């Protein structure tokens, strides 16, 4: 059975948000339309406590988009975004997917960032999504949302490694594209056997 996973379509990643992805708003009608074709839909929601370790503001002397080394590798420092309970963390107001069955929150551990819907950035701490999908026999997943080269990309790779058949609908995604990250993500997804639909 198929499930659609809509990644992080939240105000802070859309126009006017603190970590706006160019064209993020433009995907919302496409995402809504895509969701109508799925009986089973999961929404992911980036959900950080204030002062989260992925925020540049938590690291004196650093600016957003700097990188630092942490226990689990290199971490990009982001502007404060998707703080629990704030308007920025809420789903885009035009996102219209009332039949979504699960809202999966990630990034709530203060010391670990979480791009992937399946594992936090230490690549070991599971979010529980793989077990949820497997128990419900949802073995084919389609991904869309924000951002193509971060949360969608890591979710797609981890989904594939967790044994799911994975499709990414690129027209219903937008990327951040830092230092060639978008091209790298597209290449890695193709190499991993992920089906890419769109341009």
Helix, strand, coil tally for the chain in percent (to 5): 25, 25, 45
**C-alpha dihedral (41, 83, 156, 71), degrees to nearest 10:** -150
* Distance from the first to the final alpha carbon of the chain: 25
Nearer to Zn ion, 14 or 138 (CB): 14
Does residue 187 sit in helix, strand or coil?
helix
Distance CA 160, CA 85 (A): 31
Residue tagged active-site, from 149, 151, 158, 173: 151
What residues between 137 and 166 interact with Zn ion by CB under 5 A?
none
Total residues contacting Zn ion by CB under 5 A comes to 2
Peptide bond preceding 147 in cis form (omega within 30 of 0): yes
Any catalytic annotation for residue 106? yes
The smaller minimum CB distance to Zn ion, of residues 29 and 85, is found at 85
Stretch of residues binding Zn ion (CB under 5 A), selected from 45-53, 91-99, 128-136, 162-170: 45-53
12 binds Zn ion (CB under 5 A): no
Pick from 46, 120, 149, 158 the residue near Zn ion by CB under 5 A: 46
**Burial class (CB within 10 angstroms; exposed 0-12, middle 13-18, buried 19+) of 177:** middle
Distance CA 118, CA 196 (A): 19
Listed ranges 33-41, 97-105, 107-115, 117-125: which one lies at the site for Zn ion (CB under 5 A): 107-115
Q: Which is nearer to Zn ion, 109 or 140 (CB)?
A: 109
Among the residue ranges 86-94, 106-114, 117-125, 177-185, the one whose residues contact Zn ion (CB under 5 A): 106-114
173 as an active site residue: the answer is no
Give the residue at shortest CB distance from Zn ion: 46
Cβ at position 54, least distance to Zn ion in Å: 6
Residue 176 CB partners (closer than 8 Å, separation 6+): 21, 147, 148, 149, 150, 182
Q: How far is the CB of 190 from Zn ion (least distance, A)?
A: 26
Catalytic residue IDs: 8, 106, 151
Contacting positions for Zn ion (CB under 5 A): 46, 107
């Amino acid at each position: 059975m198929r499930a659609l996973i809509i990644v992080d379509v939240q105000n802070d990643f859309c126009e006017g948000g603190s970590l706006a992805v160019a064209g993020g708003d433009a995907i919302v009608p496409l995402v809504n339309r895509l969701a109508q074709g799925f009986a089973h839909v999961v929404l992911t929601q980036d959900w950080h406590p204030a002062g989260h370790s992925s925020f540049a503001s938590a690291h004196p002397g650093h600016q957003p988009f700097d990188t630092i080394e942490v226990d689990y590798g290199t971490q990009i420092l982001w502007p404060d975004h998707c703080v629990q309970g704030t308007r920025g963390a809420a789903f885009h107001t035009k996102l219209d997917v009332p039949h979504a069955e699960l809202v999966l929150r990630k990034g709530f551990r203060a010391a670990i960032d979480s791009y992937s819907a399946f594992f936090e950035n230490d690549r070991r701490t599971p979010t529980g999504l793989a077990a949820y999908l497997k128990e419900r026999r949802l073995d084919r997943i389609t991904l869309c949302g924000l951002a193509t080269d971060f949360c969608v990309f890591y979710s797609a790779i981890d989904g594939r490694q967790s044994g799911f058949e994975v499709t990414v609908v690129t027209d219903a995604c937008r990327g951040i594209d830092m230092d060639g990250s978008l091209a790298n993500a597209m290449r890695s997804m193709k190499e991993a056997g992920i089906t890419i639909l769109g341009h």
